[in-house]
Amino acid sequence: MRPNVAVHSERGQTLSRLLDLCYRNIETAWRPTPAGLLTSTNLPYEDGYMSTAFTTRTLDITTGTTETVADLTAECAAFLRDAADGRDGLLNLFVPHATAGIAILETGAGSDEDLLAALHDLLPADNRWRHRHGTPGHGRDHVLPALVPPHATLPVLGGRLALGTWQSICLVDTNVDNPTRQVRLSFLGQ
């Protein structure tokens, strides 16, 4: 059953159609057909409404040797200026690392430091962890993605991120042994 989603924007009809299409495709993908299960290469698209092509870019981020919350909002906006070109769609961020995640939160007013402090309380950097290599307590870094997932998908309206006033897109990295990270940005739009 499709969840009840209320859409509040001037582009509500477009976003509603996008959500309906995504839900219908997910529901259909698991329905057996004579040829087997539908896959991403043969999902039905309404009159070319949703493109099967998407644009991807990889960011190389230097996080250094200290725990960090790195704001990626400006990089995401720059990517969308090129990739979305004024269109509606979805921005997906993915971190291909076992010890980092993506968070949507306010930055600059202390929330980023509060997040790191909360992660220290929840995941202390000590020897309790069974996963042991690298810096003492590094096993906690491998648990981080269970709390701060390595991905996020965000709405894009008119080629711009549809974030709340104080929301920022951040890379959360507690692994001091790996000073360089990659973040894959993908835009799928109409």
pTM of the model: 0.73
pLDDT, tens digit, 9 for 90 and up, residues 12-68 = 445 555 555 555 544 444 444 444 443 444 444 444 454 556 899 999 999 999 999
Domain 53-189: which CATH class?
A: mainly beta
Span 136-140, average pLDDT: 90
Residue ranges matching CATH 2.60.120.460 in the chain: 53-189
| Rounded distance between C-alpha atoms, residue 95 and residue 42, angstroms | 27
pLDDT, tens digit, 9 for 90 and up, residues 68-121 = 999 999 999 999 999 999 999 999 999 999 999 999 999 989 999 999 999 999
Sheet with 89-94, side-by-side order of all strands: 55-62, 180-189, 89-94, 151-157, 160-161
| Rounded distance between C-alpha atoms, residue 179 and residue 23, angstroms | 39
What lies within 8 Å, CB to CB, of 102 at 6+ separation is: 93, 94, 95, 148, 149, 150, 151, 152, 169, 170, 171, 172, 183
More reliable by pLDDT, 136 or 47: 136
